[in-house]
A and B are shown apart, each in its own frame.
Chain A
Amino acid sequence: AQSVTQLDSQVPVFEEAPVELRCNYSSSVSVYLFWYVQYPNQGLQLLLKYLSGSTLVKGINGFEAEFNKSQTSFHLRKPSVHISDTAEYFCAVSDVNFNKFYFGSGTKLNVKP
């Protein structure tokens, strides 16, 4: 079975500063990797996904993530955050053989002016 760990439950950061949200996973098989964003009282929106190929993946709203197979990580980064990036972010993995998703516990990003 797969599992996903998001080590930071909350990340405070000032506007225009860079940010990294950490995600580590464990799996005995190959996986696909995803980052989602959730605004209050809404569903999850896909930010980016890694299926294969280049390990650096670019997504919407200026976010990017890098897949590191040896460290089983898929950290999310943004070079300069905006107030509007304040939300909760979820990392997810799915087994390439069976489309069941496993979600991390989420990281709340709080961007301060």
Chain B
Amino acid sequence: DGGITQSPKYLFRKEGQNVTLSCEQNLNHDAMYWYRQDPGQGLRLIYYSQIVNDFQKGDIAEGYSVSREKKESFPLTVTSAQKNPTAFYLCATDGAMNQPQHFGDGTRLSIL
């Protein structure tokens, strides 16, 4: 069954710690995206990747890093430089221009 898998569903971070959120897809889509969702603010783009080994900063990239070593995988690292990391993180993919984005079920990150 094709889809996007985000793990873990819930994640807790200690002060000064880096954490990595996983996003895996088997839709054979070229483009992958990471969004941050905060209450009342909609979705804000963190990073996106159109092809393997290439990615671009979105609107709120500070304090985050990504890699795209495989087409299927686009992990997001929330670094200690991100001072307000508590949010719901969504990974999305799309296959071509004019096609809608497909979303994973999200990871909720909280601070201990």
Query: A residues bordering B, Cβ < 8 Å?
Result: 4, 6, 9, 32, 34, 36, 41-46, 49, 51, 90, 92, 94, 96, 99-101, 103-106
Quick one: closest A residue to B100, CB to CB?
A46
A36–B90 CA distance with the chains assembled, in angstroms: 14
List residues of chain B with CB under 8 Å of any chain A CB: 4, 6, 9, 31, 33, 35, 40-43, 45, 48, 88, 90, 92, 94, 96-106, 108
* B103 close to A90 (CB less than 8 A): no
The interface residues of chain A, by DSSP majority, are classed as strand
- In the assembled complex, how far is the CB of residue A42 from the closest CB belonging to chain B, in whole angstroms? 5
- The interface residues of chain A lying within 8 Å CB-to-CB of B48 are 100
Question: Given the complex, which residues of A lie within 8 Å of B88, measured CB to CB?
Answer: 41
Known: A9-B40, A99-B31, A105-B40. A42 touches B105 (CB 8 A): yes
* A42→B106 contact, CB < 8 A: yes
Contacting residue for B42 out of A43, A49, A99, A103, CB 8 A: A103
- B-chain residues with CB within 8 Å of residue A92 when the two chains form the complex: 101
Q: A43-B105, A92-B101, A104-B42 are in contact. List 6 more A-B contacts (CB 8 A).
A: A43-B92, A44-B103, A51-B98, A103-B35, A105-B42, A106-B40
